[in-house]
Amino acid sequence: MRTLLRPTGFVDSPFGHDGKVARLAGGLNWFAAVELIRIDGHERVSTELVPVADLEDRFDDDMAAHWRALTSTRAPLQLGERTIRLDQPQVMGIVNATPDSFSDGGQFADAIAAAEAGAAMAAEGAAIIDVGGESTRPGASLVWEGDEIERVAPVIRQLAASGTAVSVDTRKADVMTAALEAGARMVNDVSALTYDGRSAATIAAAGVPVILMHHQGPPETMQQDPRYDDVLVEVYLWLEERIGAAEEAGIAREKILIDPGFGFGKKLRHNLELMNGLAMFHSLGCPLVIGTSRKSTIGALSGEAPADRRLGGSIAFALKAVEQGVQVVRVHDVFETVQALRVWRGLRDQALTPRP
* Secondary structure class of 328 (helix, strand, coil): strand
Q: Cα–Cα distance between 355 and 185 in angstroms, integer? A: 42
- The CA-atom distances, in angstroms, between 96 and each of 76, 91, 136, 313 are 26, 16, 11, 21
Q: How far is the CB of 136 from ligand 7PJ (least distance, A)?
A: 5
Gap between the Cα atoms of 254 and 132, Å rounded: 24
Is residue 137 involved in binding ligand 7PJ (CB under 6 A)?
yes
Whether 172 is catalytic: no
- Looking at 6, 172, 330, 348, which residue is catalytic? 330
Gap between the Cα atoms of 182 and 143, Å rounded: 20
Q: Is 330 among the catalytic positions?
A: yes
Output 185 or 348, the one with its CB closest to ligand 7PJ.
185
* 289 sits near ligand 7PJ (criterion: CB under 6 A): yes
Q: Given the residues 242, 295, 310, 348, select the one marked as catalytic.
A: 295
Site string for ligand 7PJ, 53-92 (x = CB under 6 A): ----------------------------------------
98, 164, 188, 337: which one binds ligand 7PJ (CB under 6 A): 188
Residue 162: CB minimum distance to ligand 7PJ, A: 23
Contact residues for 335 (Cβ-Cβ < 8 A; gap 6+) = 124, 125
Alpha-carbon distances of 43 from 216, 268, 293, rounded to whole Å: 18, 21, 31
- Output the smallest distance, CB 153 to ligand 7PJ, in A: 19
How many Cα neighbours within 13 Å face the side chain of 20? 9
Residues touching ligand 7PJ: how many (CB under 6 A)? 15
Nearest to 192 by CA among 231, 136, 140: 136
Per-residue CA distances from 341 to 186, 215, 302 (Å): 23, 27, 23
Length of the chain: 356
Residue (71 or 293) nearer to ligand 7PJ, CB: 293
* Residue 40: count of CB within 10 angstroms of its CB: 10
Nearest-CA neighbor of 241 among 1, 78, 41, 59? 41
Among 70, 182, 190, 222, binds ligand 7PJ (CB under 6 A): 190
Q: Does 121 bind ligand 7PJ (CB under 6 A)?
A: no
Q: For residues 177 and 188, which CB has a smaller minimum distance to ligand 7PJ in the complex?
A: 188
Q: Which is nearer to ligand 7PJ, 190 or 235 (CB)?
A: 190
Judged by CB under 6 A, the chain residues 145 through 174 that form the site for ligand 7PJ are 169
Q: Which helix (H) or strand (E) holds 45?
A: strand 43-51
128 near ligand 7PJ, rule: CB under 6 A: no
State which H helix or E strand residue 296 sits in: helix 296-301
Among 39, 259, 271, 284, binds ligand 7PJ (CB under 6 A): 259
Q: Does 295 bind ligand 7PJ (CB under 6 A)?
A: yes
Out of 30, 236, 262, 281, the only residue in the binding site for ligand 7PJ (CB under 6 A) is 262
To ligand 7PJ, the closest distance from the beta carbon of 94 in angstroms equals 6
Find the shortest distance in angstroms from Cβ 312 to ligand 7PJ: 17
Part of the chain binding ligand 7PJ (CB under 6 A), chosen from 106-114, 151-159, 202-210, 255-263:
255-263
Q: Find out whether 295 and 263 touch, Cβ atoms under 8 Å.
A: yes
H-run or E-run covering 49: strand 43-51
Footprint of ligand 7PJ on this chain (CB under 6 A)?
94, 136-137, 169, 188, 190, 211, 213, 259, 261-262, 289, 291, 295, 330
Which residues are designated catalytic?
Answer: 295, 330
